[in-house]
Chains A and B, each alone.
Chain A
Amino acid sequence: MISIDFILLVSTLMMFAGVYGFLTRKSTLAILLSIELMLNAANINFAVFNNLLFPQGHEGVFFAIFAIAIAAAESAIAIAIMINIYRQLHNISVDKLTKMKW
C-alpha cells in the first residue's frame, strides 16, 4: 500500500541529490539544473500533502502551479544572465567568474 512516507522519501532523495549537485558542480548551468531538481521536490511535497492529508482543499495544487510559473521565469532570467556573461568573459564556470569580487 502506498503510504505518504514513501512519496516524501522520493522527494527527499531528489532534494538532496539537488543539494549535492549544487555544492559540487562547477558550471553555472549545471548548478541551475540542480536548483530545478530542488524546486521540483518541493512541488511534489505540496501536491502530496494536499492530496493525502487534506483531500478536500486546493491550496497545495495552486501553490504548485504558481511555483512552476515562478520557477520558469527565474530560469529564463538566469539563462539570459549566463548568456550575457558568456558574451563578455567566454566562460561560465563559477571559479572563473571573479570580476565582481572585491
Chain B
Amino acid sequence: MNAQDIMFVILAVFIVCSAFATVISRSIVRAATYLLFVLLGTAGLYFLMGYTFLGSVQTMVYAGGVIVLYVFSILLTSGQQEELRTTNLKKTVAGLVIALVGFGVFASVLFMYGFAPIDFAASSFLASPDESVISMDTIGTHMLSTDKDGYLLPFEAVSVLLLACIVAGIVIARKR
C-alpha cells in the first residue's frame, strides 16, 4: 500500500461515516455539519484524483456557500422545535428496506459488470499533482470556446440560470 491508497481508505471511511450520520442524526444542525464533512471529504477525493480545480470549486461553492445558507435557514425556520421528531417505525423500516434493496441492486450490477483493470502506471490517479490531466488554462480555454470541445453554450445557459435565480430568490423571499 502506498500513501495514496492509505489516503483513499481514510477519505472513504470518513465520507461513508459522515453520510450515515447525516441521515440518522436527530438534530438538524448536526445533520448539516455532517453534510459539510461529506462535502469536504469529496473535495479530498477530487484532489486525490488530480482534479484540483474541481476540488476547489467543491470547497468554495458547497462547503463555503451552500452549507452556510443551510445553517442560516435552519436557524431561521426551526426556532424551538429544532429536534427532528421521531418518525414512525413503519416508515423507517420501509425506507431502510428500499435503500438496502437499491444498494444491493446497484452493488451487484457494479461488481458483475467487471470493469477492466486499469493500467495504473498510465492513469493519472497515481500521477503526481503537477502532471494532472486538466489545468486551469485548459478549463478556461474550453469554457469559452465554441469549438468541438467548447462549453460556451452551457456556460451562458448557467449564467442566465443564476440571474433568474437571483431575481426569483428576491421575489420569493422578500417581505410583503
Binding site for B on A (CB under 8 A): 1-10, 12-21, 23-27, 29-30, 32-34, 36-37, 40, 43-44, 47-48, 51-53, 55-56, 58, 61-62, 64-66, 68-73, 75-77, 79-84, 86-87, 92-93
Contacts and interface: CB of A to CB of B under 8 A. Distances in A.
A12 B12 CA distance: 12
Interface string B145-162: 000010100100010011
Dominant secondary structure at the A interface? helix
B103 A66 contact: no
A64 B165 CA distance: 20
A10 B143 CA distance: 30
10 contacts: A1-B120, A40-B38, A44-B42, A55-B124, A61-B51, A62-B151, A68-B57, A69-B61, A77-B169, A82-B73
Contact of B133 (A8, A56, A66, A72): A56
Given A37-B35, A52-B123, A79 B70 contact: yes
Given A20-B23, A33-B31, 7 more contacts: A6-B8, A10-B12, A13-B16, A20-B99, A40-B39, A76-B69, A83-B77
B22 A47 contact: no
A23 B94 contact: yes
Contacts of A80: 168-169, 172-173
Contacts of B123: 51-52, 55
Given A17-B20, A80-B168, A23 B120 contact: no
A24 to B, nearest CB: 4
Contact of B118 (A3, A16, A69, A79): A3
Contact of B77 (A25, A36, A86): A86
A52 B106 CA distance: 19
A55 B45 contact: no
A83 B72 CA distance: 10
Contacts of A69: 61, 158, 161-162
